[in-house]
Structure 1
Amino acid sequence: MTSLSPDLISVIVAVFNGIDTLQQCIDSIAQQTYANKELIIIDGGSKDGTVDVLESNRDKLGYWVSEPDSGIYNAWNKGLSQAKGEWICFLGADDFFWDAQVLERMASQLMTVPPDIRVAYGQIMLLNNNGENLYPIGEPWQGVKERFKQVMSIPHPGLMHRRSLFEQHGNFDESFRIGGDYELLLRELKEADAVFVPGLIMIGMRQGGLSSSPANSVESMWDVRRAQKMHGLRLPGFFWVMAMIRVYIRLILWNLIGERMTRKFIDFGRRVKGLPPYWTKT
């Protein structure tokens, strides 16, 4: 990481073959009313025209590079080596800031965060593949603090990491394919606290990433468990066990009755519990 610039917010974006969504991501950052920001984009050697998008947006980028990498955590670590901000957030090319005032509103809250708090977050809006809003996720820290030690219970896109978090704990562990963001946050939040900013939707997040398919959901849950073991949590907790049972039921149904019927069945169960539909909408 490079030398600190007080009050600067660094936004690091990882992309690979993201031509369909990258421009919206860049525009959402460039249009922020908060001026003291930098945008760092790490491309994994795209071949679909992504590099052309980066070239045409040079004036909006503080730094960018296009070269092969070993995954999203390797890309984000490359971005960290260039970041100058006191606060740092991470996006994928499918993500975008929800409106032009997001960083300004978050920055005003960050000014009041005690120095010993190094994680701050708002909500993210889940979107389906057609760009339609599903529902926001993200709850106050005190309500999810204990659950976080078992499952990823806070949204990572747009989450603000104080620079000192990386200085104390190091960068993302690149041996993870899906769960590296959880493992990084667990280093800090297994003992420390985070700050939730109510009423602030940070990011629009399209569904369909690595962890959305049943097989990848299983891998994601085992990544979470590996992270817990790394940090002294020897036994899985109730929330992790229940989440894993749901993942395996979904995988079994997917193979037995097909994807379409499984999606309908799961969303029927969500409606019974008073939750909005998800699986038939994505």
Structure 2
Amino acid sequence: MAPLRISIVTPCLNDARYLEDCLRSIHDQHYENLEHIVIDGGSTDGSAEIIQRHADRFAYWVSEPDAGHADALYKGLARATGDVVTWVCSNDLLLPGALARVAEFFAAHPNCEWAVGDGLLIDEASRVTERVWAVPFTVRSIQLWELWGTCQPATFIRRRALERVGGIDRTLHVCVDTDLFLRLARLEVPLRIPHFLAALRIHSDSQSQRHAARVRETDERIKMASGRPAWPAQLMKLAYRFYHWRYRGVQVLNETLRRHKAYTLGAPVWSPPTEQGSH
């Protein structure tokens, strides 16, 4: 039997600083049934040239103006043919062995519609700043929790489930994952893949940092539209604390029981290649 087909979409716009490492982290998985799709929004910083150097590794790639992050994801996922899909943005990374673990997990759980793995937060130099332990979440926990526990590139979705909930809302410019995950959570609470799968980069030029006010406003609008109770501010604060400390309890327990030493805080998770453009 052929291994599970996994489709990864990488959206990019003027991210040459991190793009090479992102692509290498995916290709160095050496996963034989990978479909990698790259959608570049017409970069002018050298990103398109980096993509061209890796072109033989892609099922499809394009560099042309688009309507933004959500539009790029929409276009990429529309071309995906994998059994399971995700997206890894051009400044994020997959961790070694991630795709093999994802394939093994979904093969062992054929009825699982989507799953979340553990992840890392990293800085500009790819140093680990925080571990993010995946916690299966419900619609209510997403609605009430400002910083609910998941690492987006460590989240993998059956393509049939993505299609069932309507896919990416291409009208959004931010909070695409919050919107999609709320709809998926109504379908099924995700299962947890007990491995570190990906690293999410937080840096001053990232979309979430540059458009922080817009992110907060859109996040609030999405959650209210999804049916979040219009509770008084004090009650909302109590609800948030409940979910926050419930999550922190899981984090502390995991840290204590597993004593995971593979990814040390402050240590680099990724060493830049010495030769640009080699495969």
Structures share fold, TM-score greater than 0.5: yes
Q: Which has the higher contact order (CA 8 A, sep 6+)?
A: 2
- 1:147 counterpart residue number: 141
Structure 1's 239 and 83: CA in aligned 2 closer, same or farther, altered over 3 A? farther
1:35 aligns with 2:32: yes
1:108 aligns with 2:104: yes
* One-letter amino acid of the structure 2 residue matched with residue 107 of structure 1: A
Give the 5 Å matches for 1:62-101: 62-99=59-96, 101=97
Cα distance in 1, alignment partners of residues 235 and 33 from structure 2: 39
Give the 5 Å matches for 1:168-187: 168-187=164-183
User: After the TM superposition, which segments of 4 or more aligned residues of structure 1 sit over 6 Å from their partners?
Assistant: 237-240
- Structure-1-length-normalised TM-score: 0.76
- 2:20 counterpart residue number: 23
1:203 aligns with 2:198: yes
- Structure 1: where are the runs of 5+ without partners? 246-276
- 1:45 counterpart residue number: 42
Residue 83 of structure 1: how far off its partner (Å): 0.5
Cα distance in 2, alignment partners of residues 203 and 238 from structure 1: 35
Aligned pair count reads 237
Q: Root-mean-square deviation (CA), in Å? A: 2.8
Structure 1's 18 and 186: CA in aligned 2 closer, same or farther, altered over 3 A? same
Does the CA-based 8 Å contact 1:42-1:66 persist in structure 2?
yes
Identity of aligned residues (%): 25
CA shift digits 1:216-272 (9 cap, x unpaired): 3333232222222332334258799549x9xxxxxxxxxxxxxxxxxxxxxxxxxxx
- Secondary structure of the residue aligned to 2:4 is strand
Cα distance in 2, alignment partners of residues 98 and 165 from structure 1: 25
Partner residue of 1:193 out of 174, 189, 195: 189
* One-letter amino acid of the structure 2 residue matched with residue 71 of structure 1: G
- Structure 2: where are the runs of 5+ without partners? 241-264, 267-279
CA shift digits 1:170-223 (9 cap, x unpaired): 12112222112111111120352101111x11112221222235xx33332322
- 2:228 counterpart residue number: 233
- Secondary structure of the residue aligned to 1:20 is helix
- Secondary structure of the residue aligned to 2:120 is strand
1:134 aligns with 2:129: yes
CA shift digits 1:26-48 (9 cap, x unpaired): 11111113211111000000011
- 1:251 counterpart residue number: none
CA shift digits 1:97-151 (9 cap, x unpaired): 111x110011101112242x32111122111122211121133316x77422323
Cα distance in 1, alignment partners of residues 184 and 175 from structure 2: 15
- 2:250 counterpart residue number: none
Cα distance in 2, alignment partners of residues 47 and 240 from structure 1: 48
Does the CA-based 8 Å contact 2:120-2:196 persist in structure 1?
yes
Cα distance in 2, alignment partners of residues 137 and 239 from structure 1: 27
